[in-house]
Amino acid sequence: MEPTIIYIIIGIAALIIGLVLGKVVFAKNTKKQVEEAEIQAQKIVADGQLQAENLKKEKLLEAKEKFVQLKAEHDKEVLQRNQKIIEGESRIKQKEQSLNQKDQNLEKQIKENEGIKETLNRQIEVVNQKRTELEKHQEEHIRRLEKVAGLTAEDAKAQLIESLKQEAQTKAIAIQQEIIEDAKLKAGKEARKIVIQTIQRTAAEVAIENSITVFNLESDEIKGSIIGREGRNIRAIEAATGVDLIVDDTPEAIVLSSFDPLRREIARLSLQRLVADGRIHPARIEEVVEKTKKQIDDQVMEIGERTAMELGVHGLHKELIRMVGRMRFRSSYGQNLLMHSRETANLCAIMASELGMNPKLAKRAGLLHDIGKVPDEETELSHALLGAKLAEKYGENPAVVNAIGAHHDEMEMQYVISPIIQACDAISGARPGARREIMQQYIQRIKDLENMAMGYTGVEKAYAIQAGRELRVIVEADKVTDGDSDKLSFEIAQKIQTEMTFPGQIKVTVIREKRSVNVAR
């Protein structure tokens, strides 16, 4: 045999032997694993049974505890219900006993009432007998009185009624007079309160109109052009505007003097145009003045429309608007007429609101109350009556017309707003510093107030504040006691009241302050 075949046979034999040996080894291992798996499975089953037993015991224990708890709660609830039932039965028994007791008392009271009723019946019979006897005696007495007095009972009754009626009327009149006096006192206080609140709520500007206007120049050389040859230019300006031009040594300034602010404004604007243009001669002056007058007319309408719009007064006739605008260039005792009318309108609106009236109607009347001071033509009528006539002409409300005409008592007041317009006009005009005549008196009054207070012993300083409405007096603590302060305040107030004339009221405040001062060195 060849060696190759021998090797093959050996290899096959070796393979067969290997397979047999592998199968034997695999069978042993498999059997061992199966035995281990069975052991592990038995162990798992034993553990599961043990856990199931434990869980079963725990659940049984929990169930027993829950049962015991529920049983205890049930027993407690049953006990509470039984207790409530017992309490209810007890209350019912008590009520039954109380009702039985009441029944017994009631029966007893009924028996007693029956006895009382019999007694009352007997007493009523006696009273009726006595009443009959009394009526007989009274009739007999009345007949005797009639014989003595000579009057019948009816006549006496009528005289008594008349006497009582007169007495009642007298007392009623006295009570009515007391009520009227009390009402007047309260009305006066309320009126002062409303007026003071109205004044305090109005922030008024103090603007005094002067009778001169200063026109500033860039240089003094222009003065010669304005004066002109032999003064013809200045004479032409004065003739065209009605304003006096004062050219003096004041550097770079010319003074325009006139009582009419409208004329001064026309002259100022005309001069401004002439100086800017440079051509200053009589013909040019007249032309510029005419243009300026037209410009002022447009400006007057614009001022009137703006004023009406700011105050919320709508529906005014164009002529009334123009008159309102012209107020800007008029003054009354140095007080600008437009500012005065605006202030009066605001005061009227506030006061009418406080009194529960129509504030718009009051504001309208307040704005128009002085239109008679800016007429197109001079008449002999007073400004109040002329203003009422103009307002009526241009279709204003009758209440507004009456308020305008009656604000100086020249017409009978027929509407409630009329006295409001009169009061607010007086407030605006009499306010310290509003008008030129009052301004000097106001300053002097302030000085007199302070000097009067300084004349008392122990007064260190005195200041008039609040536009002269309050006088604060500072006294020396060493010389004036607290009691003296009260006395001093009263004496100063009495002296002011008796010796000085002033609108409104003046509050006197005496201040006493003790200060101890030492210096450490």
CATH number at residue 347: 1.10.3210.10
Same domain? 420 vs 490:
no
Same domain? 372 vs 333:
yes
Q: Measure the CA–CA gap between 128 and 126, rounded to whole angstroms.
A: 5
Indicate whether this model's pTM tops 0.85.
Answer: no
Same domain? 422 vs 448:
no
Same domain? 453 vs 500:
yes
End of a domain among 86, 107, 128? 107
Same domain? 449 vs 415:
no
Q: Measure the CA–CA gap between 338 and 303, rounded to whole angstroms.
A: 10
**For 151-198, what is each residue's pLDDT tens digit?**
566 776 777 687 777 777 777 777 777 776 766 666 565 655 555 555
**For 491-519, what is each residue's pLDDT tens digit?**
888 888 888 776 667 888 888 877 676 77
Same domain? 452 vs 404:
no
Q: Measure the CA–CA gap between 145 and 151, rounded to whole angstroms.
A: 8
Domain with 480, as residue range(s), is 442-513
- Gyration radius (Cα) of the chain, Å: 58
**263 belongs to a structural domain:** no
End of a domain among 107, 136, 169? 107
Same domain? 328 vs 426:
yes
Same domain? 60 vs 9:
yes
Give the 3-state secondary structure of residue 429: helix
Nearest to 391 by CA among 402, 382, 381: 402
The conformation of residue 208, written as its DSSP 8-state character, comes to: B
End of a domain among 431, 453, 488? 431
Instruction: Identify the pLDDT of residue 402.
Output: 92
**93 belongs to a structural domain:** yes
For the beta carbon of residue 248, count every other beta carbon within 10 angstroms.
9
Same domain? 414 vs 476:
no
**For 415-427, what is each residue's pLDDT tens digit?**
888 888 888 888 8
Same domain? 345 vs 448:
no
Strand-pair category, 470-476 with 507-513: parallel
Instruction: Identify the pLDDT of residue 493.
Output: 87
Same domain? 421 vs 506:
no
Q: Measure the CA–CA gap between 380 and 36, rounded to whole angstroms.
A: 144
**505 belongs to a structural domain:** yes
CATH code where residue 470 lies? 3.30.300.20
**373 belongs to a structural domain:** yes
Contact 337, 370 (CB under 8 A): yes
CA 344 to chain CA mean position, Å: 21
Same domain? 426 vs 449:
no
**409 belongs to a structural domain:** yes
Q: Measure the CA–CA gap between 507 and 465, rounded to whole angstroms.
A: 10
**27 belongs to a structural domain:** yes
Which residues does the chain have with pLDDT short of 50? 203-209, 434, 436-439
**211 belongs to a structural domain:** no
Our count of domains for the chain comes to 3
**129 belongs to a structural domain:** no
Nearest to 369 by CA among 379, 504, 438, 346: 346
